[in-house]
Structure 1
Amino acid sequence: MSATRRQILSGAGASVAGIAFTGALSELFAGSASAASGVRAPGDRPPRGGYGPLVPDPRGLLDLPAGFRYKVLSRQGDPLRSGEGPVPSNHDGMGAFPGHRGRVHLVRNHENKTTGKLGVPTVPGLTYDPAAKGGCTVLELDGRNHVLGERVAVAGTAVNCAGGPTPWNTWLTCEETEDKAGTNGYAKDHGFVFEVDGADPRRTGAVPLTALGRFQHEAVAVDPRSGIVYETEDAFDRPFGLFYRFLPRKPLGGTGSLRAGGALEAMRVPGVPDLSAVRETGTRFEGVEWVPVPDPLAAETPIRFQDFGPKGITHAQKLEGCYWGGRAVYFVSSFARTGDGSAATHFGQVWKYEPHRRRLTLVVVFGPSTDIRLPGESPDNICLAPTGGLMVSEDGGGAQHVFGVSERGEVYPVARGRQNIGTPEEPEWGEFAGVTFSPDRSTMYVNCYTPGTTFAVTGPWHR
């Protein structure tokens, strides 16, 4: 992001950052918490201008609008309450699930490899590959966000970046790697999805869901009607990643059903080998095809390199967030650059796929061509907010924000990280990740990736 745009956005007094996106914004809110419930209370949306300017935090951790408060739930290096070891580093994707008596199970990814920062402690029965230092931890919270417990949920996985919730209230954590056994010190193949039950991690253990494919996973979304799992691939080199769907043999069967296997397919948009070439919001493609993946385990060849026939397959650079809303699945291309080999350059796209129509639509475009004041370069995961809008985490250089987007297209700051991981002369701030809301929509949970910190943010979300 250019210095000019960062200077505009980094001021603590900034409120509305301008119109950040072009496209059919209303498309994105069909699956929000309030819309899904079918009820929206009068005034259940932020006022024009969002929640107001950010107030500098005297503790130097997190700037928030007036009336909002944060609580630090967990920090890397502190002891896990289970006594299993220290809290791991590299806090990433996260999901919040209801527990008994108003409790919340907060499942948190740790994007670690084999070396480096604090890895997830190995625990018997919950460890896949002892050489890998990624995985998940889970916090158990009461209704006031007091931490009642904190423990390892799965260990021995690698580069756990994002994932997604299931309709039966488990978390699917995704490995963003395709390293095989013997590579980078790993003892087993990686590049899988693992299911995590936050209420009882031993129910799910450390079993890779191999039928969902072995590739550089980013995020997943589950169709609550059919049980079909949609998956994004964040491949770092050409040919870039694919968009997948997994057809389970036992759809919506609850915990463990995805182990029963199924069919993995990749999306083909006829005549479109690279989604970055599409520039105009509202562009639709009818008759989207799904092609069986020749070798889902990628025993010899990564899936994106495999032979999908004379018509080829559709690729896209930096496929990141993925979520279900209404009757469609939405997925994010964080950016594309011709210098990396993409067909065109963009600063972020949101795509909508409607399974019942086999229709793909470009609904939102981010970037400087939209507005010079954008907070929207390189959008990462997108969270549906209580007010029917979005929460977007920035993933770039300079100041790091969580921005909200109203249904009217207004962009407003929600949080700014203040933990300087650089120097006073050349400050640097850790990115935000894992934005999610409590089941009752009263609390926003968010991670700072570095230094690994998990926050609970409360305030007048529904005013």
Structure 2
Amino acid sequence: MPTTRRQALARTGAVGAAVAFSGALSELFAGTAAAQATGGSAGYGPLVPDPDGLLDLPKGFRYKVLSREGDPLRSGEGKVPSNCDGMAAFAAPRPHGDGPGDSRADAQHGRSGKGTTWLVRNHENRMDGRVPVPAVKGLTYDPAAKGGCTVLELDRHNNVLTERVGIAGTSTNCAGGPSLWNTWLTCEETEFKAGEEGYTKDHGYIFEVGFDRRRPTSVEPLTAMGRFQHEAVAFDPRTGVVYETEDAFDKPFGLFYRFLPEKPKGGYGSLHAGGTLQAMRVPDVADLSTVTETGTTFQGIEWVDVPDPLARQTPVRFQDFGKGGITHAQKLEGCYWGGSRVYFVSSFARTSEGSQRDHFGQIWRYDPRRRSLTLVIRFGPDTDVQLPGEEPDNICLAPSGGLMVCEDGEGAQHVFGLTRQGKVYAMARGAQNLGTPQDPSWGEFAGVTFSPDHRTMYVNCYKPGTTFAITGPWQD
């Protein structure tokens, strides 16, 4: 394929081979307590080539490989699955008087000591997944499906204590998000029905993955939250409302949703009580790609009930939302709550694929109290600042302020940091060449997240599936 600008810059050793952005980065960090940005004003310095050819980091930082696809799971349940995607890290509570039990039950239910961490990891396996998530009794939804989650239990030094299946028999588990009660909601980015592509059950749901005896994984889908090509979720901690993104593959593109639970903030299992699924309507805006000026704000955002959340006959994004229609956007991916607002990412838009305008990424902010929607950041070649990468995907808040962004574009693949002051820097670069020296290729990053004590950044290389723990002078 032709050499892109990103590939050319990567080969010359430039710190960042990326497109530009415009917008008020400071808005992304509203409500964060940190006064100083991660990486200071200029990041942590240039990336140092890794002699082992896995991961390039700034000087002073180190990585540990926690898990690689195809290696044996420590539980003995099978092999580490492929296509490592979204992740989250949870502090594991100390056990409360449960007997020692057998070792398999301890691993299954996360019997943990002080200072341990649960790291839950999605596997975006479709029917052609290289290494499927092993089917485990009591944890498998559809025996024909190859996706799911695995759970790693880590000690304070990031040594892997246990590694096991969290849920199996799901499909295309892309992202998700943590609940208010410290379980993981894993999202299926598909909408195949039973009998299609070899599946025996309908797919396109959210499932709740737990870590201990009091909050075990449920293989019953959260049907009221909709059946569509889910990407990520974020909770409003004040109200318990859940926001959801849809990464639809074709036109009409995905929608931005909110779920109003019958038992808001009800705790583990409460989402099974049902609720109301609604889609966002921006008056007079059918496609978010048409908005090009950062700072553009729409008032009076409307929420319209989804006619058929289970999409029994018609996919949700094709359904009739009545007068005024509904608002679509291409590649709706990352979603997180910050301060009193929810942020979500449109990774890119291409007119060649049906969008009304081209862009290399947008970040939107929705304010529930004011019912307003604002375009905060726009990535693209027509702006005039360097970095932070093309096609932003997974996003997480860094512990000392700022963001970490996984890119999913062409050429070299990076994790970029964005400081509160608007500085952008390369934090990591994938070094596992999947191609040839003459035509190199690198797997995207996914699942960036931080440990509960903020001392470790975890991130996946999607292909070949590799999970890294990165430590270093984060507070310098």
Change beyond 3 A, Cα 1:359–1:164: same
Residue 381 of structure 1: how far off its partner (Å): 1.2
CA–CA separation in structure 1 for the residues paired with 2:17 and 2:203: 40
- Which residue in 2 is equivalent to 1:55? 48
Residue 48 of structure 1: how far off its partner (Å): 2.5
Show the 5 A alignment for 1:121-200: 121-200=134-213
Q: What are the ranges of 5 or more consecutive residues in structure 1 without an aligned counterpart?
A: none
Quick check: 2:40–2:419 contact (8 Å CA) kept in 1?
no
Residue 6 of structure 1: how far off its partner (Å): 3.4
- Which residue in 2 is equivalent to 1:5? 6
Quick check: 2:22–2:384 contact (8 Å CA) kept in 1?
no
Q: Normalising by the residue count of structure 2, what TM-score does the alignment of the two structures yield?
A: 0.93
Residue 4 of structure 1: how far off its partner (Å): 2.0
Residue 366 of structure 1: how far off its partner (Å): 0.8
The answer to whether 1:66 aligns with 2:59 is yes
Residue 370 of structure 1: how far off its partner (Å): 1.6
Amino acid at match of 2:9: I
CA–CA separation in structure 2 for the residues paired with 1:11 and 1:67: 23
Deviations 1:182-229 (A, max 9, x none): 110000000000111134597122121000000000111011111111
CA–CA separation in structure 2 for the residues paired with 1:349 and 1:256: 34
Quick check: 1:216–1:234 contact (8 Å CA) kept in 2?
yes
CA–CA separation in structure 2 for the residues paired with 1:443 and 1:356: 34
| Partner of residue 370 from structure 2, selected from 322, 343, 357 | 357
SS of the residue corresponding to residue 195 of structure 1 reads strand
- Which residue in 1 is equivalent to 2:441? 428
Quick check: 1:9–1:373 contact (8 Å CA) kept in 2?
no
- Which residue in 2 is equivalent to 1:284? 297
The answer to whether 1:234 aligns with 2:247 is yes
SS of the residue corresponding to residue 216 of structure 2 reads helix
- Which residue in 1 is equivalent to 2:90? 97
| Partner of residue 391 from structure 2, selected from 361, 378, 398 | 378
| Partner of residue 74 from structure 2, selected from 81, 84, 87 | 81
SS of the residue corresponding to residue 112 of structure 1 reads coil
CA–CA separation in structure 2 for the residues paired with 1:353 and 1:409: 21
CA–CA separation in structure 1 for the residues paired with 2:225 and 2:160: 33
The answer to whether 1:455 aligns with 2:468 is yes
The answer to whether 1:116 aligns with 2:129 is yes
Show the 5 A alignment for 1:265-344: 265-344=278-357
Amino acid at match of 1:27: E
Q: Normalising by the residue count of structure 1, what TM-score does the alignment of the two structures yield?
A: 0.95
| Superposed CA RMSD | 1.7
- Which residue in 1 is equivalent to 2:24? 24
Quick check: 1:89–1:452 contact (8 Å CA) kept in 2?
yes
Residue 372 of structure 1: how far off its partner (Å): 7.2
Amino acid at match of 2:62: R
Quick check: 1:29–1:407 contact (8 Å CA) kept in 2?
yes
Deviations 1:160-190 (A, max 9, x none): 0011111111111100000000110000000
SS of the residue corresponding to residue 304 of structure 1 reads helix
CA–CA separation in structure 2 for the residues paired with 1:136 and 1:377: 28
Amino acid at match of 1:8: L
User: Number of residues paired by the alignment?
Assistant: 455
Deviations 1:22-46 (A, max 9, x none): 1121111125xxx2xx354xx6642
Change beyond 3 A, Cα 1:275–1:18: closer
Amino acid at match of 1:138: V
Amino acid at match of 1:66: K
Deviations 1:274-295 (A, max 9, x none): 1110000000100000000000
Amino acid at match of 2:364: W
CA–CA separation in structure 2 for the residues paired with 1:44 and 1:276: 30
CA–CA separation in structure 2 for the residues paired with 1:68 and 1:284: 40
SS of the residue corresponding to residue 102 of structure 1 reads coil
Deviations 1:218-259 (A, max 9, x none): 111011111111000011111111000000001111111111
State the percentage of identical aligned residues. Answer: 70
Show the 5 A alignment for 1:433-444: 433-444=446-457
Residue 340 of structure 1: how far off its partner (Å): 1.1
Change beyond 3 A, Cα 1:112–1:45: closer
